[in-house]
Structure 1
Amino acid sequence: MPARRVARILVDSPLPQLDRLFDYAIPDQLAAEAVPGVRVKVPLRSAGRVVEGYLVEMGVDDPADRPLSDVEVVVSPVCVLPERLYRLARAVADRAAGGAGDILRLAVPKRMVRAEKAWLAADPPLAPVVSDAARARAQAVLAAYPGLEEGITTDARLALDAPPRTAHLADGPVVGEWAIVLAAGAVASLTEGRSAVIVVPDYRDQEQVLAALASFDIGDAVVRVDARQSGPERYGGYLRILAKAPCVVVGSRSAVYAPAHRVGLVALWDDGDTLLSEPLSPGVHARDAALVRQELEGTALLFAGHTRTTDVQRLVEAGWVRDLAAARRVSPRVILSATREGESRGSRVPSAAFAAAREALQTGPVLVQVARPGFAPTLVCAECRSPARCRHCGGPLRAHRRGAVPECAWCGRAAHGWTCASCGSDRVRMASSGSERTADELGRAFPGTRIIISDGAHPLTRVEARPALVVATRGAEPIADDGYRAVLLLDGDRMLQSDDLRIGESCLRWWSNAAALAAPGAPVHLVGVTGPVARALATWSQPAYARSELAERAPLKMPPTVRIAALEGTAAEVDAALTAVRSAVTDLAVDDVLGPVPVEETHTVRALVRFAYAQGRVVTAALRGAVVTAALRTRRPAKGRPPGPRNTLKVRVDVLDPEL
């Protein structure tokens, strides 16, 4: 009896027990269409329904061995899952104790029939041609960083301290010079006939990189990937990425999985930004996915930023990533501004910073960075200073303008007739100043001056070079033509009081990114902050601060010196998972398992497991096995039998510090 062709299918399902390849027979009528990488529909016996999936690989099987269900239909002839993408998704999922299907849902967009038909009807794209002028300009940009061009061409892992300044593009907008450096690296990769993937936190950074790439004039080789695109646009861009022609992919965190042709460079900008951390299961940070991809595909890997995260610094100290420095060091003029003798200690803007702003407004815009948006983000009782809370839901009260009735930040109800639960007072006091209240105060201090607000509710990406006070929340600072004539960093002491184990690192990143927008020689005033973070900003020695933070974390076994997994579920499920981990890792110390402890307002418990990077493969495999075991206990019961306990076991590896 002749052998039959077998398709190994990954079904698109969130169930952990289905996270493996299933064998299906290929009927004769689908033999020509069923090739690796296509979308298919297959029957799922356990569920009694037809589900979608991906044909991952082909095999040959003896028909007498076992009965196999047939593939129902080939959804599309386009191979949307190349073998390199499946290998990456499988490796990333295994590292995070997750499922490959969860990764592929982030990497592969939904099928859009019209976009697919248009793509199939069009001629395939040609390989981009990099002109001699573009190649020479890219080499000139990269020459300012000894070893950068060589590292890109030799597939090295690099960490670059980006230049803290802006630059004018020829007949184009003003962008951060870091965007030009990354664009030059992408052009160098294209010159060798290889693709490049540039991953940035948000649309502001993406627009800068796209503008920088446009200045090199590399034609239509640039592909955008972000959540602002429509479904057809994103799917059409994905089909372009799959083509056998090099391209440059620029996008947000999911772009790190882009299966471009012969990738030569993967670059991450500002990897400390929380936007690069994926909130969906299995919650893999773009930095970790890029590291896995570099190891699998042998690409060049570049981490760039105005600051250095402790995660990248750990890789540098381990010799896994090479540190790069500019041939000529450039740093902003940072001034630690404090209240002088005779000034009120509660003064938000000391006299030195106030005078610098007044002088700078004569020639151009001034940037004022604040901690929070709104008018008064938090209110307290005017008598006892207890936080003002909503009587309905317990949420914090806030005010949108002076004299307005307070509103709840959670449920939005107006707090008419509010009284303090502690002392009975009916008066509230503003405990903090948001962007709108700061703009109101500065408007009175600088009469006749334009006031511009940039925050989540009033997003701006660019301001003119005319005099203006630009009040922006952290991360929402627009770029000023010719740079800001002065930068005031307010609320620094309040930012440092956040309940975050990495708040010093985060504050240094926020302040450094704002300081990089200053014009050459313009003063940058950090108000009311002293200590190691302030000194690191003033001396522009962010890598040294990362080294000191890493040294302090090592004896305490805090990330990133170790990896941490969080387990949450019923007591029996968590105990079973911890038992599996202890069986797999015999040298796990007693203090490496924290908990389990009850979770408030639920019937679950939570535990943390600390483990070394060398133990990662064993620990994550044990945790994934525990998740699958817990899921199998929730199978649909036989008719007439009561249902079993519901699966609640959740595992998150490499938990972010704010969640800890």
Structure 2
Amino acid sequence: MPPESRRIARVLLDSPLPQLDRLFDYALPAELGDVPLGVRVRVPLRTAGRVIDGYIVEIDTEDDADRPLSEVESVVSAVPVLPERLYTLARRVADRAAGSASDVLRLVIPKRQVRVEKAWTADSPEMQPDAAAREIAEEAIAAYDGLGAVLDTGGRAAVEAIPQLLDGVQGWAKLLASAAARTLSSGRSSIIVVPDHRDLDRLLAALEPLVPAGTVVRHDSRQTNPDRYRAFLRTLEDAPCIVVGNRSAVYSPVAAGLVAIWDDGDPLLGEPLSPYVNSRDAALLRQELEGSALLFAGHSRTTDVERLVVLGWLQDVRATRRVLPRVVLSTAQEMEQPTAQRMPSSAFLAARNAAAEGPVLVQVSRPGFSPSLVCADCRAPARCPHCGGPLGARHRGAVPVCGWCGRGASAWTCPSCSSTKLRLASSGSERTADELGRAFPGVRVIVADSAHPVERVTDRPALVVATRGAEPIADGGYRAVVLLDGPRMLQAPDLRVAESCLRWWSNAAALAAPGAPVHLVGVNGAAAKALATWNHAAHARAELESRAPLHMPPTTRVALVQGSASAVGDALAALKELALPSDAVLGPVPVESDEVPPRVRALVRFDYSAGSRVATALRAAVVAEAVSGRRRKGRSTKSTLSVRLDILDPEL
């Protein structure tokens, strides 16, 4: 290197401030020696007069040694925790969502654990599935038409999982475990993302007989900080592995040959932290950058995935031999019965006959005894006199309790008619179990909900009352499944309510034994027919067609812009140069809050082709507002403008 040259490091600062979301040049002192890319460093931030953490993204030399540059103060660790592929993905995800790359990296790179780092050695041997495990995996993959070709060629597919228990595990878990085992046999890593810990445990059980234990890396919130950092260091190694975890596992820094997501319609896959990117969108961006195979597996089909299938971006993969649940819908006579009768005679008889042979699943919408109460005289909803929250009953004859503040309301009086009498307005899991216990004398009743988690039940006769998503697996499958509260579920004020109900019902129906009846109570219409015919793709396509004229997601993208009236006005003014349609902006409208100055919000609807331009313009507005806020009146003030792209439908 010529005497007048010097080494410089381009550093990404670990800061949430939008104006710092770029690479900064720092001089690399000679005493630091050879510094690898991706290591943690500490650098001075002149404007703030303090030292901040960051990551070295690039190292270069420059001839202009007279350019004033601050020096890297120290190297925190010699471990390169930010490989190039991880930074590229984080930058791409942040740019699409009008967010910061450091916010994305904060989801995947754990805090440093010095003891774990000192004990870590990046020399894990490569382990392959044995011949018997490979044969099992190939047999499971062969059950799906064209799936093997998708895995071998780095294709993209929407896979309809077999809705059955296979060898004691759910069909979807065996499918994804087999795909990961096949990818591992070819010397490549896999990433499998599932919504919650129940799905994670079931997937780990399916992987156990197929791959060596040392190749599976967990990534979930239940891990301790040392365990999470140890797992992260394993993903930095060259030896292939299988990463299984929740939503942020999609960013794992492995050289992935497969990225798979189970049940992409689950809201738990939506990141609640900035930049609020859904795991489905991150997986699509990752596949585009790296060319890995991509699978979206589910019993049902979301409109987001169906849109990509219609466009030809995803291949529709189904089982070669479809064995579907036997769904029974309520008859016209049963639909005309009083609403007080929750379980019609056909479903009751099916449950009674099946309970003599084995477990029966009864799905309900809510946990607890009676989640809501009403006035016995005027039927007005019973509200807490302290906070206005809904009153509920924990058991029959109990003092009403507020669902928000938890206070009792022993001396409640109706503000509408002054009555002091209350009436149970709904039935939760515990009340349903109480009622079924009296209707099925001598049969064991099991409650499975958030307060009573149950992972598995035996094949002994029992009634299992479970809330949606909390259904345990039964040995050999349930002898009958009864889906209650369907009309109540469909009444939710949500654009995706039918899509969500289909997902809940389908996941419960997949737990039934072969040939066992699945009774959907009190529901007819498109959603019920889609479940009965198991044609979720057609239902999702019809949903897409109905949303297109209204320009609602996922047919278009939607951005939420919120802040002070002036900040939101400046952001919307910047969008006028993009030539968006005249009806693209909805609002602004006031936001109910006590903040000063008052806040407003607006929605911006735009086509996918305009996504990059809209994201860039909104991000520039956020940075401009943040910089102007620091300079306003010569003192630092908090920026009021926030931007969120691809908001969830319920938030509309």
TM-score scaled by length of structure 2: 0.97
Q: Read off the aligned partner of 1:620 and give its amino acid letter.
A: A
Q: 1:408 to 1:447 in 2, by over 3 A?
A: same
Tell me, in whole angstroms, the C-alpha distance in 2 between the residues paired with 1:605 and 1:115: 47
Q: 1:337 offset after TM fit, Å? A: 2.4
Q: 1:528 offset after TM fit, Å? A: 0.3
Q: 1:569 offset after TM fit, Å? A: 0.4
After superposition, where does 1:59-208 map in structure 2 within 5 Å?
59-120=60-121, 124-168=123-167, 174-208=168-202
Q: 1:212 to 1:341 in 2, by over 3 A?
A: closer
Q: Read off the aligned partner of 1:607 and give its amino acid letter.
A: A
**Structure 1 residue corresponding to 2:483, chosen from 465, 489, 497:** 489
Question: Which residue number corresponds to residue 300 of structure 1?
Answer: 293
Question: Which residue number corresponds to residue 171 of structure 1?
Answer: none
- SS of 2:60's equivalent? strand
Q: 1:203 to 1:353 in 2, by over 3 A?
A: same
In structure 1, runs of 5+ residues without a counterpart are: 169-173
2:354 corresponds to 1:360? yes
Tell me, in whole angstroms, the C-alpha distance in 2 between the residues paired with 1:646 and 1:15: 10
- SS of 2:583's equivalent? helix
Deviations 1:325-358 (A, max 9, x none): 2111111000012564995442001111111010
2:271 corresponds to 1:278? yes
Q: 1:137 to 1:25 in 2, by over 3 A?
A: same
Deviations 1:240-285 (A, max 9, x none): 111011001011001000111x311000000000010100111000
Question: Which residue number corresponds to residue 10 of structure 1?
Answer: 12
**Structure 1 residue corresponding to 2:223, chosen from 209, 226, 229:** 229
Q: 1:372 to 1:342 in 2, by over 3 A?
A: closer
8 Å Cα contact 2:10/2:58 also seen in 1: yes
Question: Which residue number corresponds to residue 609 of structure 1?
Answer: 604
Tell me, in whole angstroms, the C-alpha distance in 2 between the residues paired with 1:433 and 1:37: 55
2:19 corresponds to 1:27? no
Question: Which residue number corresponds to residue 385 of structure 2?
Answer: 391
Q: 1:40 offset after TM fit, Å? A: 0.7
8 Å Cα contact 2:6/2:65 also seen in 1: no
Q: 1:416 offset after TM fit, Å? A: 2.5
Question: Which residue number corresponds to residue 592 of structure 2?
Answer: 600
**Structure 1 residue corresponding to 2:366, chosen from 372, 392, 397:** 372
Tell me, in whole angstroms, the C-alpha distance in 2 between the residues paired with 1:342 and 1:628: 59
Deviations 1:360-381 (A, max 9, x none): 0111000000000111111111
Deviations 1:583-619 (A, max 9, x none): 1x11x11111100011113410110000000000000
Q: 1:582 to 1:636 in 2, by over 3 A?
A: closer
Deviations 1:59-110 (A, max 9, x none): 2123444211111111111111000000000000000000000000001111
Question: Which residue number corresponds to residue 534 of structure 1?
Answer: 528
Tell me, in whole angstroms, the C-alpha distance in 1 between the residues paired with 2:38 and 2:205: 34
2:252 corresponds to 1:250? no
Q: 1:136 offset after TM fit, Å? A: 2.1
Q: Which segment is superposed worse, 224-233 or 417-426?
A: 417-426
Deviations 1:20-72 (A, max 9, x none): 1111111111122x221111111111111111111111121234442111111
- SS of 1:590's equivalent? coil
- SS of 2:630's equivalent? coil
8 Å Cα contact 1:156/1:300 also seen in 2: yes
2:536 corresponds to 1:552? no
Tell me, in whole angstroms, the C-alpha distance in 2 between the residues paired with 1:245 and 1:95: 31
2:288 corresponds to 1:287? no
- SS of 1:573's equivalent? helix
Question: Which residue number corresponds to residue 37 of structure 2?
Answer: 36
Question: Which residue number corresponds to residue 624 of structure 2?
Answer: 629
2:257 corresponds to 1:264? yes
8 Å Cα contact 2:43/2:53 also seen in 1: yes
Q: Read off the aligned partner of 1:25 and give its amino acid letter.
A: A
- SS of 1:347's equivalent? coil
Q: Read off the aligned partner of 1:648 and give its amino acid letter.
A: T
Q: Read off the aligned partner of 2:640 and give its amino acid letter.
A: T
Deviations 1:471-502 (A, max 9, x none): 10000000000000000100000000001011
Tell me, in whole angstroms, the C-alpha distance in 2 between the residues paired with 1:192 and 1:20: 37
**Structure 1 residue corresponding to 2:582, chosen from 554, 577, 590:** 590
Q: Read off the aligned partner of 1:128 and give its amino acid letter.
A: M
Q: Read off the aligned partner of 1:394 and give its amino acid letter.
A: G
8 Å Cα contact 1:149/1:188 also seen in 2: no
- SS of 1:215's equivalent? coil
- SS of 1:634's equivalent? helix
Structure 1 stretches of 4+ moved >6 Å: none
Question: Which residue number corresponds to residue 309 of structure 2?
Answer: 316
Q: 1:427 offset after TM fit, Å? A: 1.4
Tell me, in whole angstroms, the C-alpha distance in 2 between the residues paired with 1:342 and 1:57: 70
Tell me, in whole angstroms, the C-alpha distance in 2 between the residues paired with 1:620 and 1:20: 16
Tell me how many residue pairs correspond in the alignment: 646
Question: Which residue number corresponds to residue 522 of structure 1?
Answer: 516
Tell me, in whole angstroms, the C-alpha distance in 1 between the residues paired with 2:423 and 2:69: 71
8 Å Cα contact 1:128/1:219 also seen in 2: no
8 Å Cα contact 2:558/2:647 also seen in 1: yes
Q: Read off the aligned partner of 1:37 and give its amino acid letter.
A: G
Tell me, in whole angstroms, the C-alpha distance in 2 between the residues paired with 1:19 and 1:470: 51
Q: 1:234 offset after TM fit, Å? A: 0.7
Deviations 1:498-525 (A, max 9, x none): 0101100000000000000000000000
- SS of 1:395's equivalent? coil
Tell me, in whole angstroms, the C-alpha distance in 2 between the residues paired with 1:69 and 1:590: 48
Q: Read off the aligned partner of 2:36 and give its amino acid letter.
A: V
Question: Which residue number corresponds to residue 48 of structure 1?
Answer: 49
Paired-residue identity, %? 62
Deviations 1:157-210 (A, max 9, x none): 111100000122xxxxx2201111111111111111110110111111111111
8 Å Cα contact 1:152/1:189 also seen in 2: yes
Question: Which residue number corresponds to residue 656 of structure 1?
Answer: 648
In structure 2, runs of 5+ residues without a counterpart are: none
Tell me, in whole angstroms, the C-alpha distance in 2 between the residues paired with 1:136 and 1:489: 37
Tell me, in whole angstroms, the C-alpha distance in 1 between the residues paired with 2:283 and 2:351: 42
Q: Read off the aligned partner of 1:144 and give its amino acid letter.
A: A
Q: Read off the aligned partner of 1:39 and give its amino acid letter.
A: R
Tell me, in whole angstroms, the C-alpha distance in 2 between the residues paired with 1:480 and 1:55: 51
- SS of 2:214's equivalent? coil
**Structure 1 residue corresponding to 2:345, chosen from 340, 351, 355:** 351
